[in-house]
Amino acid sequence: MSLTPEEIERYRRHLVLRDIGGQGQAKLKSARVLVVGAGGLGSPLLLYLAAAGVGTLGIIDDDRVSLDNLQRQVVHTTAAVGMSKVASARDTIRRLNPLVAVETFDARLDAGNAADIIGRFDLVADGSDNFATRYLVSDACYFARRTLVHAAVGPFDGYLTTLKPFEKAADGNPFASYRCLFPEAPPPGLVPSCSEVGVLGSVVGVIGTLQATEILKELAGIGESLAGRLLLYDAKEPRFETVRIPWDPSNPLTGRTPTIHDLSMHLRSGTPPETACPGP
């Protein structure tokens, strides 16, 4: 896919990067990335993916912009309060980079639509705020064989990883899945929500920006993937740390005797899942 004169000028700083250049920028232009959640993590993620020239961005979120979102959800403005988040994010992206196509889904990702929506994209970024959606996104990406870049934040910390459990690591075992990292969700009420404990807005920006970086690396095929590793950030220290995530042969999705074969276990009554603010 060739670049237009306008694209050559806009992405000049990428084009002179030895690891990206024209070929890498063309890969970004042809890529389709789905972002689950247009909130704190989705905001910097969408801004940097759009600025970088990712050709098509999908955004799924059923929420509306509220005033208390604006402390950290930088893709939205005061004028957007009351708007759907997907429409607000789309409008911001169009102002930032009109060369990027935006596909919006003003809905909650669920067992009924996940396979269809995720199957339309090359890579998925999870910026959701609850465990139910995280397990659903992870399982759906596994069945669709789509790379998933997952991130989450706490009040002053956060973490991210790249999940591609349908591929094998150097040791011959599958890369870790989300279920290797978190075998099961904590009981309801055990993990306080961000509305209860708060979150430093700039920490969300750090993690979302790191998430965008890992996505751009995956799309351009540069650097070392975070697959099989977890990157942790503690803002108070401050400290970054990377730990290995081993494959769990007993996990029900990708273990030796899997018991999850489709998304039917995620069918639910329609009650919104409990939000969480789980740091590392």
Is 0.75 surpassed by the pTM of this model? yes
* pLDDT tens sequence across 175-229: 999 999 999 887 776 666 777 789 999 999 999 999 999 999 999 999 999 999 9
Q: What is the pLDDT of residue 190?
A: 65
DSSP calls for 206-274: HHHHHHHHHHHHHHHT-S---BTEEEEEETTTTEEEEEE----TT-TTTSSS----SSGGG---SPPPP
Question: pLDDT class for 267, splitting at 50, 70, 90?
Answer: confident
Residue 277 has pLDDT above 60, yes or no: no
Residues 244 and 183: their CA atoms lie apart, in Å, by 16
* pLDDT tens sequence across 239-257: 999 999 999 999 999 999 9
Residue 279 has pLDDT above 80, yes or no: no
Q: Does domain 31-266 have CATH number 3.40.50.720?
A: yes
* pLDDT tens sequence across 31-81: 999 999 999 999 999 999 999 999 999 999 999 999 999 999 999 999 999
Residues 170 and 156: their CA atoms lie apart, in Å, by 34
Starting at the edge strand found earlier in the chain, the sheet holding 229-234 runs 101-105, 56-60, 32-36, 123-126, 147-153, 157-163, 229-234, 239-244
Contact indicator for 101, 56 with CB cutoff of 8 Å = yes
Helix, strand, coil percentages in the chain from 3-state DSSP, rounded to 5: 35, 20, 45
Contact indicator for 114, 153 with CB cutoff of 8 Å = no
Q: What is the pLDDT of residue 188?
A: 72
- Ordered by start, the domain boundaries in the chain are 31-266
* pLDDT tens sequence across 90-127: 999 999 999 999 999 999 999 999 999 999 999 999 99
